[in-house]
């Protein structure tokens, strides 16, 4: 019984630490995806595939959503690199 409790405790500690890192990384990926979507909307506006007024509405929503995620990231993710530092790392993987 003692070995089971130790194993469960160790698994709990490992999964908490792993989820914390994965969680903050996922938030940065989400913000990066929103930036990609903004560039697609701008491209569609410039190419005439999307009405400018509707495009501006989409861009405002994307900016607002990005702000919500960034605020949550800054308040909830403890012991983390800054958003800019993670964006630099992500850019290295995507280029």
Average pLDDT across the chain, whole number: 77
All structural domains of the chain with their residue ranges: 24-94
Look at phi and psi of residue 20 and say left if phi exceeds 0, alpha if psi is from -120 to 50, else beta.
Answer: alpha
CA distance 95 to 88: 11
Residues of the chain with pLDDT under 50: 1-5, 7-8, 10
Q: Summarize pLDDT for 19-36 with one digit per residue, the tens.
A: 555 567 888 899 999 999
pLDDT score of 5: 47
């Amino acid at each position: 019984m003692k070995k089971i409790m130790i194993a469960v405790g160790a698994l709990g500690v490992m999964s908490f630490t792993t989820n914390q890192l994965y969680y903050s990384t996922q938030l940065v990926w989400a913000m990066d995806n929103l930036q990609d979507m903004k560039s697609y909307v701008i491209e569609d506006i410039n190419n005439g595939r999307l009405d400018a007024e509707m495009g501006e509405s989409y861009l405002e929503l994307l900016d607002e959503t990005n702000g919500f995620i960034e605020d949550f990231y800054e308040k909830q993710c403890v012991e983390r690199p800054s958003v800019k530092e993670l964006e630099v790392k992500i850019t290295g993987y995507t280029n």
